[in-house]
């Protein structure tokens, strides 16, 4: 029962909290009240059984506890007035109203007036219901630091009066992009942790996918939402093949494709197609997802449609130019026009200095030089990549490849 | 809710532009903007400031008043003026801030005014 209760709490807490924040107008009070309600649930549900509508039950109990708390505080007239207003407010909560609350919470947590790290932390804490300790662990900071970050973010929402609402039509495209950026950041931190021992943190990938699914059901028919959801599902479908049993990285060309999740790949491909149909000018997430779909659908590394992938990177360059996209395009180009042509692109990119400090730049160079048989230069490039990479399994892969390049270069 | 909109611009560039057509256009844009937010009821107060070359900084340490020439901090952009506005939330305040002509070349800091629950302390 307790295990089942945990699952219910994980499912319902974001939505219940979202409604309580609207009713109470205060993040902290809403969180405290929800905790009270949850304690009450742990007391009564195991013996009396779970109510038919657990979320409505939690919200209504929490609302009553919040009134008690406000009454006990007493000192402020305004709080007293709020308690009275709350008592007279209806305890009935329609389904639409509750769904709207969740969207309000998402848009408030991802408001551009908050620092990016605060947006991510607040979203994981309140929308996903992760405990502060887990959010802290996910971003490699201490629990006290993370708690402080959350306190500051909530104080800014209150004191600067960041509105608790879904943005209107003219602000929507920009704000929705902001929400998607937060979700993608959570996913990327899970897909390739920026440092540490483990390559992936699956729970973060799963949270990001859960968030995007939720957004897709609350705001159907948005190209960006479907594109991002498809992109993440397609990447995540390869999770079992990306690392071997000893935790080492397996490169795409060596991955056992039978371990990729076929049903997830098909779902991702459907989302890509649907996303691309929604807009005349494709959404950048949809284009990235289309690239992932081509990889996922290829029978083998050699049979991958590299020409189309390189073309899609070209589309992405026009929609959303960035040096990282250029680097990826060069890597794809190496499979179409050969590593020599790709190396010219990478060297031009390196000369501009925009990717300085980014380990994948020397790693890509190293790979191209290796394929060109320039083993000595490849060794030096692997060294440069090793000096920059912060993730242990990636470093081990680079070290293995560097050793091989160094060995081959002495044969001549 | 009241917000103070602090307008920061590069003084040297502003001084260099004085008297040009662009400068004249900016002045009339300020007049239009101010008239507009007075009409919509958002305007509470607003002024332009003399340049930081006229600024004096005052500190009191151990009961002694120290007076120094110049602004509190040397920065690339300087405080050149402000508006005090009434807005329903931060989204409305930032939308108004974005219409200030100074935001096109410099930047506008939006600060909520602190409210004391029992009146000013």
Contacts of A76 in chain B (CB under 8 A): 117
Q: A10 or A394: which carries more pLDDT confidence?
A: A394
And the tokens for A258? 């039978």
Residue A252 has pLDDT above 70, yes or no: yes
pLDDT, tens digit, 9 for 90 and up, residues A113-148: 999 999 999 999 998 888 898 888 877 789 999 999
CB-CB contact of A123 with A105 (8 Å): no
C-alpha B16/C-alpha B29 separation (Å) is 19
pLDDT, tens digit, 9 for 90 and up, residues A34-47: 999 999 999 999 89
Residue B121 has pLDDT above 50, yes or no: no
Secondary-structure percent of chain B, ordered helix, strand, coil, rounded to 5: 35, 35, 30
pLDDT, tens digit, 9 for 90 and up, residues A298-312: 999 999 999 999 999
Q: What is the pLDDT of residue A4?
A: 79
**Nearest beta carbon to residue A161 from set B89, B114, B117:** B89
Q: What is the ipTM of this complex?
A: 0.84
In chain B, where the domains are located = 2-112
Question: What CA dihedral angle connects A14, A20, A23 and A26, to 10 degrees?
Answer: -100
**Nearest beta carbon to residue A160 from set B88, B90, B117:** B90
Q: How crowded is residue B21: how many other Cβ atoms within 10 Å of its Cβ? A: 8
Residue A81 has pLDDT above 70, yes or no: no
CB contact under 8 A, A171 and B91: yes
**Nearest beta carbon to residue A161 from set B90, B114, B117:** B90
**Nearest beta carbon to residue A113 from set B88, B90, B114:** B90
Architecture of domain B2-112: 2-Layer Sandwich (3.30)
Q: Which helix (H) or strand (E) holds B61?
A: strand B56-61
C-alpha A107/C-alpha A70 separation (Å) is 27
- Mutation choice for B interface testing from A159, A164, A175 by most B CBs within 10 A: A159
Q: How far is B111 from chain A (nearest CA, A)?
A: 7
DSSP state of A75: -
C-alpha A191/C-alpha A168 separation (Å) is 33
Q: Is A160 on the interface with B (CB under 8 A)?
A: yes
B 76-115 residues with CB < 8 A to A? 88-91, 94, 110, 112, 114
Over residues A149-168, mean pLDDT: 92
Mean pLDDT (chain A) is 90
Residue A9 has pLDDT above 70, yes or no: yes
pLDDT, tens digit, 9 for 90 and up, residues A304-334: 999 999 999 999 999 989 999 999 999 999 9
């Amino acid at each position: 029962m307790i295990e089942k209760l945990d699952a219910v709490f994980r499912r319902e807490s974001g939505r219940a909290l979202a409604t309580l924040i609207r009713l109470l107008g205060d993040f902290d009070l809403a969180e405290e009240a929800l905790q009270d309600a949850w304690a009450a649930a742990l007391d009564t549900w195991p013996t009396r059984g779970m109510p038919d509508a657990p979320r409505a039950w939690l919200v209504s109990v929490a609302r009553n506890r919040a009134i008690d708390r406000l009454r006990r505080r007493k000192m402020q007239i305004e709080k007293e007035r709020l308690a009275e207003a709350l008592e007279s407010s209806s305890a009935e909560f329609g389904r639409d109203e509750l769904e709207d609350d969740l969207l309000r919470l998402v848009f408030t947590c991802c408001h551009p007036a908050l620092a990016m790290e605060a947006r991510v932390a607040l979203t994981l804490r309140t929308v996903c219901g992760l405990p502060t300790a887990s959010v802290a662990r996910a971003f490699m900071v201490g629990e006290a630091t993370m708690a402080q970050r959350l306190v500051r973010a909530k104080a800014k929402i209150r004191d600067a009066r960041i509105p608790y609402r879904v943005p209107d039509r003219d602000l929507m495209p920009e704000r929705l992009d902001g929400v998607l950026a937060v979700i993608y950041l959570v996913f990327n931190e899970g897909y390739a942790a920026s440092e540490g021992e483990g390559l992936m943190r699956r729970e973060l990938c799963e949270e990001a996918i859960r968030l995007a699914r939720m957004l897709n059901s609350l705001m159907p028919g948005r190209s960006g939402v479907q594109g991002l959801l498809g992109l993440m599902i397609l990447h995540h479908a390869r999770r079992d093949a990306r690392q071997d049993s000893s935790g080492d990285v397996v490169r795409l060309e060596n991955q056992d494709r039978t371990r990729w999740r076929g049903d997830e790949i098909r779902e991702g491909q459907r989302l890509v197609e649907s996303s691309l149909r929604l807009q005349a000018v494709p959404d950048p997430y949809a284009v990235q997802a289309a690239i992932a779909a081509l990889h996922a659908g290829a029978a083998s590394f050699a049979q991958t449609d590299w020409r189309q992938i390189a073309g899609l990177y070209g589309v992405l360059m026009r929609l959303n130019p960035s040096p990282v996209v250029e680097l990826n395009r060069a890597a794809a180009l190496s499979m179409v026009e050969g590593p020599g042509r790709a190396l010219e692109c990478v060297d031009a990119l390196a000369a501009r200095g925009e990717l300085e400090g980014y380990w994948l730049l020397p790693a890509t160079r190293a790979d191209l030089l290796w394929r060109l048989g320039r083993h000595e230069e490849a060794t030096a490039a692997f060294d440069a990549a090793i000096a920059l990479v912060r993730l242990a399994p990636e470093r081990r892969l680079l070290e293995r490849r560097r050793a091989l390049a160094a060995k081959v270069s002495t044969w001549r | 809710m009241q917000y103070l909109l602090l307008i920061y611009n590069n003084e040297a560039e502003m001084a260099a532009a004085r008297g040009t057509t662009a400068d004249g256009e900016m002045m009339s844009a300020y007049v239009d903007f101010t008239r507009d937010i007075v009409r919509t009821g958002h305007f509470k107060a607003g002024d332009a400031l003399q340049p930081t070359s006229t600024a004096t900084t005052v500190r009191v340490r151990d009961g002694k008043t120290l007076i120094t020439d110049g602004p509190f901090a040397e920065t690339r952009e300087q405080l050149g003026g402000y508006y005090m506005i009434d807005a329903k939330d931060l989204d409305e305040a930032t939308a108004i801030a974005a219409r200030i002509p100074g935001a096109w070349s410099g930047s506008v800091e939006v600060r909520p005014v602190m409210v004391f629950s029992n009146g000013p302390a």
